[in-house]
């Protein structure tokens, strides 16, 4: 009996030791699994691409590079700007819309791909409402109507007079079919009962180059695109399309001051593919708003003619839907006129 009791006691001790050892091992593996899962979910853990759907050198490209530098400094990974131009931004937008929704491919774009293209093209391979996760409405800028300095036109009334005298003689460039410049040009013609020939380009930079070279008579684009050329005398500002005179162009009257009751403002925003995790969207939104609130960065945007906006991702989503509704009537009229 003593031998049996001794063996039972030894068995009990061994069992307790083995049980504690098992629990310890299980705990170690559980902690390792949690740590591993956390490491896998940490974002960003590798470089992030910001797709700009326009050529290098435009205001959207410059803004993207400013924000990429800030994101890299504050989030600890490179943010690389990649230009994928063409089809008024549709090529770059399609690339992002079909990319994995993991936060490593983003789109920084103007109005075209994020609203107008859906209205102006018969078909697009993406929908701005359903195929993107809105992150941040970054900034806005009024458009400006500019002329090559060799033209005799110096004011908006002179332009209207010239267009009425010789309908269809003059042309204007834009960043592409369905761009803000295109829509604004059509809106001006509707309001003034005039006719110009639209010349679409694959982005703002090639349109600007041809305007400066005298290949086209006029162009309409964001103020930041043409501000250096206006200041250097390579382009002449005819009218600002904002509600008020742009601080960067204090001597340039608005359309309303010239008797044309309309205005047009472009905007720039950041989105990711639909399904991008909410925590990544929130992180980028918070960092983006912080960028817009920094004094030095606000000063940089001011020099570019951009007015910082910011706000929540939900606000940006509602804004995109509102823009689609706003421009739909004009887009429908343009579509109807081209099919007659």
Q: What is the CATH number of the domain that holds 334?
A: 3.40.190.150
Let me know: does 195 contact 189? Beta carbons within 8 Å.
Answer: yes
Q: Do 259 and 149 share a domain, yes or no?
A: yes
Range of the domain at 313: 48-140+266-339
pLDDT category, 109, cuts 50, 70, 90?
A: very high
Q: What is the pLDDT of residues 209-234, one digit of tens each?
A: 999 999 999 999 988 889 999 999 99
- Distance, in Å, from the CA atom of 134 to the CA atom of 281, rounded to the nearest integer, reads 8
Which pLDDT does position 112 carry in this prediction? Answer: 86
Whether residue 88 lies inside any domain: the answer is yes
Q: Do 61 and 129 share a domain, yes or no?
A: yes
CATH number, position 173: 3.40.190.10
Whether residue 313 lies inside any domain: the answer is yes
Q: What is the pLDDT of residues 10-26, one digit of tens each?
A: 445 444 545 554 444 44
Which pLDDT does position 4 carry in this prediction? Answer: 43
Whether residue 61 lies inside any domain: the answer is yes
Which pLDDT does position 10 carry in this prediction? Answer: 45
- Distance, in Å, from the CA atom of 42 to the CA atom of 62, rounded to the nearest integer, reads 29
Q: Do 202 and 243 share a domain, yes or no?
A: yes
Percentage of the chain surpassing pLDDT 90?
Answer: 63
Question: Which domain-ending residue is among 221, 249, 265?
Answer: 265
Q: Do 171 and 114 share a domain, yes or no?
A: no
Whether residue 287 lies inside any domain: the answer is yes
Question: Which domain-ending residue is among 265, 293, 327?
Answer: 265
Mark residue 86 as left, alpha or beta (left: phi above 0; alpha: psi -120 to 50; beta: remaining). left
Whether residue 102 lies inside any domain: the answer is yes
Q: Do 132 and 166 share a domain, yes or no?
A: no
Q: What is the pLDDT of residues 23-48, one digit of tens each?
A: 444 444 444 444 444 444 699 999 99
Whether residue 43 lies inside any domain: the answer is no
- Taking CA atoms, 331 is separated from 57, 87, 174, 177, 201, in Å, by 29, 17, 16, 11, 19
Predicted model pTM: 0.77
Q: Do 153 and 135 share a domain, yes or no?
A: no
The gap from C-alpha 123 to its chain's centroid, in whole angstroms, comes to: 21
Whether residue 5 lies inside any domain: the answer is no
Whether residue 151 lies inside any domain: the answer is yes
Q: What sign does the CA torsion over 82, 85, 89, 93 have?
A: negative
Q: Do 95 and 195 share a domain, yes or no?
A: no
Give the chain's domain count: 2
**DSSP-derived 3-state class of residue 155:** coil
Q: Do 187 and 206 share a domain, yes or no?
A: yes
């Amino acid at each position: 009996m003593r031998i049996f009791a001794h063996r039972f006691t030894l068995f009990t001790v061994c069992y307790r030791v083995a049980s504690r050892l098992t629990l310890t091992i299980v705990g170690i593996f559980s902690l390792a699994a949690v740590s591993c899962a956390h490491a896998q979910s940490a974002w960003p853990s590798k470089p992030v691409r910001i797709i700009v759907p326009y050529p290098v050198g435009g205001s959207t490209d410059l803004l993207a590079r400013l924000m990429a530098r800030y994101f890299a400094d504050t989030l600890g990974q490179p943010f690389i700007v990649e230009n994928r131009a063409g089809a008024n931004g549709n090529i770059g937008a399609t690339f992002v819309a079909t990319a994995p929704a993991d936060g490593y491919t983003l789109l920084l774009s103007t109005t075209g791909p994020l609203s107008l293209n859906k209205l102006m093209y018969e078909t697009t391979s993406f929908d701005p409402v359903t195929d993107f996760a809105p992150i941040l409405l970054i900034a806005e800028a009024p458009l400006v109507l500019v002329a090559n300095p060799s033209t005799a036109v110096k004011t908006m009334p002179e332009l209207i007079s010239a267009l009425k005298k010789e309908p269809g003689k003059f042309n204007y460039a834009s960043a592409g079919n369905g761009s803000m410049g295109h829509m604004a040009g059509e809106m001006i013609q509707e309001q003034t009962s005039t006719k110009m020939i639209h010349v679409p380009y694959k982005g703002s930079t090639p349109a600007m180059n041809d305007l400066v070279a005298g290949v086209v008579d006029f162009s309409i684009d964001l103020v930041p695109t043409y501000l250096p050329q206006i200041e250097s005398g390579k382009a002449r500002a005819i009218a600002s399309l904002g509600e008020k005179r742009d601080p960067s162009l204090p001597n340039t009257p608005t359309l309303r001051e010239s008797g044309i009751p309309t205005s047009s403002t472009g905007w720039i925003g950041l989105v990711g593919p639909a399904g991008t995790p909410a925590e990544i969207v929130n992180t980028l939104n918070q960092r983006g708003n912080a960028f817009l609130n920094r004094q030095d960065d606000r000063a940089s945007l001011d020099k570019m003619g951009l007015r910082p906006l910011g706000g929540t991702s939900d606000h940006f989503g509602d804004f995109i839907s509102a823009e689609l509704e706003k421009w739909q009537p004009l887009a429908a009229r343009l579509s109807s006129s081209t099919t007659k």
